[in-house]
Structure 1
Amino acid sequence: MHRGKGMKFVGDSRVPAEKKPNIPKDYSEYPGKTEAFWPNFLLREWMVGAVFLVGYLVLTVAHPAPLERVADPTDSGYIPLPDWYFLFLYQLLKYEFAAGPYTVMGAVVIPGIAFGALLLAPWLDKGSERRPLKRPIATSLMLLGFISVFFLTWESVDQHDWEAAAEQGEITDDVDMEVDESAEGYQIFESQDSCIGCHGGDMLGGSSGPNMFESDYDTEEVIEIITNGKGAMPAGQFEGSEEELETLAAFIANDGQSADGGDAEAEEDGSEEEAEEATEE
């Protein structure tokens, strides 16, 4: 018999001579251990999702969103605070090595390296071990990231001035306080960047300046405060002529209304009273 004639060489007896297609077994072959994706598994997931959705809706009704007053883009003294999941980045930008001329480091480079390390962790540590102590690289990166985020978030919450934030964001009833934006005094105020930066574009105050109509000052007292300053307000901030200063002071003393308009209304009231008296006589 010639070599190979009438013989079938298989080699290792553990390797089948004919390859079978790699078809997974049907879930019915594992009774009690598996179930059909549709409709059993998917229906259960939908029910759990519906329960959580109803819970979230109840929370939104019971605890409304903590809204603040209408945003004022001219209020440069406003202290912003991002949502809780961005507090660690917010705190990172407060440090010298990640702020000012190094903002790119704090906003792009450092977060990019940190998140990049977490994404590359599965490729940096390809061990088959599942225990954390047996995977030092992946475990170290995870612990370092968690500790850093936790520490920065804690520091941000601890250092934030919550009382000032509550005051600056307090919603006030401004129905009765309508500033006459067509008045000459308001036009003069809009030209003063230093005033807007502290008291806001609506003159109702910001985090570093109070409402300009809270105190009952007359025109002379307002001029004295603008010229010489008071408390944290520095002197010599007004840029304009004496006539403009007097017009602005009268506008503030008249609670955001044109002083001329007020005088005109007073004159009209007086003339009406005189007319009524003359009619009675």
Structure 2
Amino acid sequence: MHRGKGMKFVGDSRVPATRMPNIPKDYSEYPHKTEAFWPNFLLREWMVGAVFLIGYLCLTIAHPSPLERVADPTDSGYIPLPDWYFLFLYQLLKYEYAAGDFTVIGAVVMPGIAFGALLLAPFLDRGVERRPIKRPVATSLMLLGVIATIFLTWESVDQHDWEAAARQGAIVDDDIDEDAEGYQIYQSQQACINCHGEQGEGGAAGPNLFDNEYEVEDIMEIIQNGVGDMPADQFEGSDEELETLAEWIANDGQDPE
């Protein structure tokens, strides 16, 4: 083809001489279906996040986190309670087939399947619809996860012994005589410490040693023969040491001399 006046050589008559860039239509051409990411969408998300953040801060001021006594790693009777966002997993580990020999199932396998299903939801349901009723797979998985989380969290809160938790975590002003012979004897009795705490302050498995009205003879009787859930024959020592320990307890942790 000769290059004449007003003509351009393109090599193929099916290819336009002037190519227009592939620019998508403006979002305003889709009323009620889409919007500008900046600033409309981000501004709305920021406002919603700010409302939740302010509400959360107000909640922390109105109901501050309760403080418990100093952590005691020797207290095997202490029953810990996770934060509220882990309560559903805490409750799951209480069931027969998710605890004991099946702990791996409850701690790894079942949560892994649940969260994995949520991660796969966008790939299992790739529809363009935004209405939940038009996205049955993703909507069902999300509703199942939310319902299960709420149910397990409620069960955990309902079944927890809050009074025992308050007792085991109470901050006690321990004013005991650590130089007393009775205290030294108590420190040598690991079975006593496991249930009643390092300072006799009590825990989940045993009450405060000094919160009683027993006489020395009664305390010796309880130490030797047990009472309630407390087993007998846990004291390891001589009769003289037993009497000294009982006197120390009866005297509220002070040297009777």
TM-score of the two chains, using structure 1 as the length reference: 0.72
- Counterpart code for 2:162: W
Q: Matched residues in 2 for 1:121 and 1:46: separation? A: 26
Verify: 1:187 aligned to 2:184, yes or no: yes
Counterparts of 1:14-33 in structure 2, within 5 Å, are 16-21=16-21
Secondary structure of 2:252's counterpart equals coil
Verify: 1:234 aligned to 2:237, yes or no: no
Verify: 1:214 aligned to 2:211, yes or no: yes
Q: Matched residues in 1 for 2:61 and 2:69: separation? A: 20
| Matched residue, 1:134 | 134
Cα 1:99–1:9 change in 2 (3 A) is same
- Counterpart code for 1:232: D
Query: Could you list the per-position Cα deviations for residues 41-63 of structure 1 after superposition, in whole angstroms to 9, with x for gaps in the alignment?
Result: 98998888777666655544433
Q: Which runs of 5+ in 1 are unaligned?
A: 28-32, 263-281
| Matched residue, 2:66 | 66
Quote the offset at 1:105 in angstroms. Answer: 1.2
Cα 1:49–1:159 change in 2 (3 A) is closer
| Matched residue, 1:170 | 170
Quote the offset at 1:189 in angstroms. Answer: 1.5
Cα 1:26–1:194 change in 2 (3 A) is same
Verify: 1:118 aligned to 2:115, yes or no: no
Q: Matched residues in 2 for 1:86 and 1:25: separation? A: 46
| Matched residue, 1:196 | 193
Q: Matched residues in 2 for 1:41 and 1:135: separation? A: 22
| Matched residue, 1:9 | 12
Contact 2:10 2:17 in 1 (8 A): no
Cα 1:158–1:10 change in 2 (3 A) is farther
- Counterpart code for 1:165: A
Secondary structure of 1:168's counterpart equals helix
Alignment length, in residue pairs? 245
Quote the offset at 1:201 in angstroms. Answer: 0.9
Cα 1:110–1:164 change in 2 (3 A) is same
| Matched residue, 1:87 | 87
Q: Matched residues in 2 for 1:247 and 1:101: separation? A: 44
Secondary structure of 2:178's counterpart equals coil
| Matched residue, 1:250 | 247
- Counterpart code for 2:180: A
- Counterpart code for 2:75: D
Query: Could you list the per-position Cα deviations for residues 186-232 of structure 1 after superposition, in whole angstroms to 9, with x for gaps in the alignment?
Result: 22212222211211111011123221112243433221111112233
User: If you compute each CA radius of gyration, which structure gives the higher value, 1 or 2?
Assistant: 1
Cα 1:130–1:224 change in 2 (3 A) is same
Q: Matched residues in 1 for 2:90 and 2:136: separation? A: 30
Cα 1:83–1:129 change in 2 (3 A) is same
Q: Matched residues in 1 for 2:110 and 2:122: separation? A: 20
Q: Which moved more, 1:143-152 or 1:127-136?
A: 127-136
Cα 1:105–1:19 change in 2 (3 A) is farther
Cα 1:93–1:42 change in 2 (3 A) is closer
| Matched residue, 1:144 | 144
Q: Matched residues in 2 for 1:110 and 1:57: separation? A: 33
Q: Which runs of 5+ in 2 are unaligned?
A: 3-7, 28-34
Q: CA RMSD in A?
A: 3.5
Identity %: 72
Quote the offset at 1:161 in angstroms. Answer: 1.9
Q: Matched residues in 2 for 1:44 and 1:120: separation? A: 27
TM-score of the two chains, using structure 2 as the length reference: 0.77
Q: Matched residues in 2 for 1:254 and 1:22: separation? A: 89
